[in-house]
Structures are given as structure tokens and as C-alpha cells.
Structure 1
């Protein structure tokens, strides 16, 4: 009798334990952050975001692209940036400018497209997102 009861309890544990584990894996949201120093890398980054959105399906969460460094002034060239802004909007990605870099390289934040968010410190923002569980890549 004890053996039968133990077997029944262990069976229930494995069945419900595996169901719970499968359920939590299926509903996990995947958030991503990419830190880049080159505006020219926006195209491949956004292609990756599109592929991940397709792969993740309903589990695709947020996709943040942080631009830091001396090329940050290239974010003011709306003609070159427009295709990237459209691709980001389509996939639901956010392009973020590092305020520290804007100040250091004397780039007027008012010249940035309205779709670009500014954070005080891009590197700090990246680390804060990693603490929240974002998958991170630095280019």
C-alpha cells in the first residue's frame, strides 16, 4: 500500500512538475538590448530583431538599440536614418541615444528624430536592462 501511494505521489509530481515547467518556458518573454557605436550597424541589428520576432512569436518582448560614441551625430541625418526608423517601428524596436555621448560630441539633441529616445547614460541603461533579464549584445 505504501509503495502504491508513493508511486502515485511521485507520478503526480512528475506529471504536474513537467507541465508547469513547459508552461513557464512557453510563456517566457524574451527582451533584447544591443549597444552599438556605429549607426551603420542599425540595418543588421534590425534584421536580427525581425528574425527574433518571427522566431519568438508571442514571446517576443522589447528590443532596445542604444547608440553611443563618436558617431552619434549620424543620428541627426534623417535621410539616412529614415529606413531604420521605419524598420524599427515595424518590428517594435526602440532606438535610443546616449545623452552622455550627445554632450561629449556636441550633438544638438533637438536635431534627433522625435522617434529616438534619449537616456542620460547609454552604458548604464544597458546594464540596468541586463539586471532586468534582457539578453544583451555590444557591438
Structure 2
């Protein structure tokens, strides 16, 4: 009985380690942040810069998705330019939620051309998480 419990426990631990390894690429650390407030881009970009230093050659992809009513502020190109320049230097991709753009009547042509529009930001975030991205929603 003791041996079967021990074997079962070892099997569960092995399965857990295998599952985690499949969801995380040890070669690169990839990150995604979903935010509903444009001012949060500043601390998000600072975080990306620090992680890039900390991770070194293990730093992979870093994406920020802007969702919700704040997408209206993406049309302020002067405000967005400082974030875009800093994101570019840090190899951070800024994305806009197409669902939010539609809901709040923002023409995708009015947001900076450096930003990609993803159809559904929440779905896109989940898809990246399934690929092993570290994720946080703000």
C-alpha cells in the first residue's frame, strides 16, 4: 500500500512538472500585460526595461494590450508618442483592443500606426497565456 501511494505521488509530481514545462519556454521569458489605463504604460514600460536587464538573453517577447474605455486616449498622438518611443527602445509591442475601439467609437486609423489592433484584447491575452506567457491585468 505504501509503495502504491509513493508511486502515485511520484507520478502526479512528474505530470505536474511536465505540464508546467510545456507551458513555459525556458529559453525565453515572454510577458503580456492587459491594461485599462494609459498612464499605467509608464510603470509597465519601466518594468519591461528592468525585466530585460534582469533576464538578459532570456528576455523574449513583451506585449501590452490596451482595452476598455481608455482606448479613446490612444488618439492623442502627442501623449502616445513618448510611450511609443520608450516601448520601441525596450522591444515592447503596444496593441489596441479592436473590440474596445468598436465599442467606444474609436476609428483604428486615428491611433498611432505603430500600434497593432488585435480583434479581441482579452481573448488575445488568454491565447498568449496558453502559449506560456507570464501575464498580469491592470
TM range (shorter): 0.7 to 0.9
CA RMSD of aligned residues (A): 0.7
> What is the CA–CA distance in structure 2 between the aligned matches of 1:58 and 1:76, rounded to whole Å?
34
State the partner residue of 1:85. Answer: 84
Is 2:137 aligned against 1:138? yes
TM norm structure 1: 0.80
The count of aligned residue pairs is 113
Runs of 4+ in 1 over 4 A off after TM superposition: none
Q: Deviations over 1:112-131 (max 9, x none)?
A: 11100001000000000000
Tell me how far apart the structure 2 counterparts of residues 70 and 112 of structure 1 sit (CA, whole Å): 14
Residue 113 of structure 2 aligns to a residue whose secondary structure is coil
Q: CA deviation at 1:105?
A: 0.1
Unmatched segments (≥5 aa) in structure 1: 1-26
Higher gyration radius (CA): 1
Quote the offset at 1:73 in angstroms: 0.9
Residues 69-123 of structure 1 deviation map (CA, whole Å, 9 limit, x = unaligned): 0111101101111110001000100000000000000001001111000010000
1:8-19 equivalence runs, <5 A: none
Shift in Å, 1:28: 2.0
Q: Partner of 1:114: helix, strand, or coil?
A: coil
What SS is found at the alignment partner of 2:63?
strand
Secondary structure in structure 1 of the residue aligned to 2:132: coil
